[in-house]
Amino acid sequence: MKKIIGYALQTLLVVTWLLCGHLHASDADYQQGLKALQTNDFSSALHYLELAVAGDPDNLRYGNQYRQVIVHQKEFDRGVKFFEQLVAQHPQAPNLHLNCGFAYVDKIPVAGSITQVMLANNALTEFSKALQLQPGWITYYTRGISYLFWPKIFNRASLGVADLEAAMKIQQSERHHGYHLKAYLALGDGYWKTDNLAKARITWAEGLKEFPKSALLQKRLALHGDELKELIELQFDPSIRVNTDLRDLWED
C-alpha cells in the first residue's frame, strides 16, 4: 500500500511539474510574441503567439492577441486553420471556441457573399459551443450579437434578443464595467430588428443613464425613421470589419 501511495504521489508531482512548466513556457512564448510586436517583427510575433496559444489553448488573452496580429497582417486563412486544428484537439475549451469563432468573423469582410454565410455559420457554431461549455456574459453577448448579423429571412434576431437579455441580466448583477455599454447598444438594436421600437428606446435610454457620455446611445435616441434604420443596418453590414478585440474585458 505504501508503494502504491508513493507511486501515486510521485506521479502527481511529475504531472504538476509538467503542467506548470508547460504553462510557464506558454507565458514565455507570449512575452516573446509581444516583444516581437514592439519591433514590428510580425512573423516572429505570430510564431511565438501560436506557441503560446497551443500551450494554453483556453487562455482568452493569448488567443485574442494572436487574432489581432492575424487581422493586422491579413493572414486570415492561417488564423482560421490554426484555430480549427486546435479546437479539434481541445473540444472542451470554451475560450478556444470563442477565439475560433472570432477568427471566422475576422475573415468575413474579405470573403465573397456565399463564403460570408459559411463563415458566419461556422462562427455561430463555435459561439454556441463556448456558451454550452461556459455560460457567462461574454458568451451570451457574443452569440447574441452574432445572431443579429443574419438577414431577416433567417429569423434569428429573436434568438439574439434572448441571448442579449441573458447577458443583460448577468451584467445587472455585477459591478459596473465599461464593456457593459455594448449590451445596451446591441439589445436595443435587437429590439429594433424585431420591430419593438418602444423597447429599443427604453433600453438605449437605460444605457444612457449608466453611460451618459456615450455618443452611440445619444445618436440612436436622437434619430428616427429612415435615419435610425440606416444607422443600425450599417452596424451589421458584413463588408465592414467588426472590432473583435476583447482586451476591454481585462483592461476595464
pLDDT at residue 20 tops 70:
no
Q: Cα(244)–Cα(79) distance, rounded to whole angstroms?
A: 14
Note down the domain range covering 222. 135-240
Asked if residue 36 and residue 84 are part of one domain, the reply reads yes
Q: Which residue has the cell 419593438?
A: 196
CA 132 to chain centre: 15
42 is written with which cell numbers? 510580425
What torsion do the CA atoms of 241, 244, 248, 249 make, to the nearest 10 degrees?
Answer: 160
Q: Would residue 122 count as lying in a domain?
A: no
The reply to whether 154 falls in a domain is yes
| pLDDT over threshold 70, residue 5 | no
Task: State the Cα–Cα distance between residues 45 and 36, nearest whole angstrom.
Answer: 5
Residue 230 has pLDDT above 80, yes or no: yes
129 located within any domain = no
- Tell whether 140 and 91 lie within a shared domain: no
| Domain boundary, last residue among 79, 97, 112 | 112
φ, ψ (nearest 5 deg) of residue 111: -100, 165
Give the confidence band of 24 by pLDDT, cuts at 50, 70, 90.
Answer: low
Q: Does a structural domain hold residue 124?
A: no
Please check whether residue 119 lies inside any domain of the structure: no
**Predicted local distance difference test score (pLDDT) of residue 6:** 42
Could you tell me the CATH number of the domain that includes residue 149? 1.25.40.10
Backbone phi, psi, residue 214, to 5°: -75, 110
| 100 and 162 together in one domain | no
pLDDT in tens, 135-175: 999 999 999 999 999 998 999 999 999 999 999 999 999 99
Domain contains 118: no
Of all residues in the chain, the percent with pLDDT exceeding 90 is: 88
What pLDDT is recorded for position 252? 76
Give the amino acid at 46: L
| Mean pLDDT value of segment 17-40 | 78
Residue at which a domain ends, from 62, 81, 112: 112
Query: What's the structural domain count of the chain?
Result: 2
Mean pLDDT computed over every residue of the chain: 92
pLDDT for the residue numbered 8? 42
Reported residue count of the chain is: 252
Q: What pLDDT, in 10s, does the model give residues 167-222?
A: 999 999 999 999 999 999 999 999 999 999 999 999 999 999 999 999 999 999 99
Give the whole-angstrom CA distance, residue 68 versus residue 94: 19
How is residue 9 written as a grid cell? 504521489
Is 186 found in the same domain as 102?
no
Picking from 110, 116, 50, the residue whose alpha carbon sits closest to that of residue 83 is: 50
